[in-house]
Amino acid sequence: MTDLPQSVLFCCDHNAIRSPMAEGMMKQFYGHDTYVQSAGVFNDMEIDGFSVAVCMEMGIELARHRSRSFDEMQEWGDDLSGFDLVVALSPGAQRKALDLTRYFHLEVEYWPIMDPSDMGETRDAKLAQYRQTRDQIKDRMIARFGAVED
């Protein structure tokens, strides 16, 4: 396993699908040695039910997740400058994170992860798309932070 950062912030557009998945997986895979949070550019959605379902398949609980924006994080006292690594999972989140680097020294990585929210007509088709997104995040995470012990 590579050296884990002390703290990671995962971010996407709404903090309702991709970034909560990533936060939950990071905690599940690597324990609590790393401080992990997630945020969105906007906070205009609650946690997505399909995200909850596909993460529960891996034993990751997301149902209690509370969506929040970058601005709310700062208002609630989570100092963005305290994160060692910011992982943006959408182009909008990457722009926002890079904008913050003007004020703070932050390492920003961009992982282009598919947004599954507008895909699939049936429940099964939607679940398949969300699983694909979940697995993209998992693969990137393992490639970046090392293999996960079962």
Query: CB–CB of 75/82 below 8 Å?
Result: no
Q: Which residue has the tokens 């992990």?
A: 36
Spatial distance between the Cα atoms of 101 and 83, rounded to a whole number of angstroms: 11
150's CB contacts (< 8 A; 6+ apart) are none
Could you tell me which of 9, 19, 10 has the C-alpha nearest to residue 51?
A: 19
pLDDT in tens, 89-128: 999 999 988 887 787 777 899 999 999 988 888 999 999 9
Which domains does the chain possess? 7-145 (3.40.50.2300)
The pLDDT assigned to 110 comes to 95
Amino acid letter for position 138: K
Token digits of residue 20: 């909560």
pLDDT in tens, 33-67: 889 999 998 877 678 889 999 999 999 998 888 88
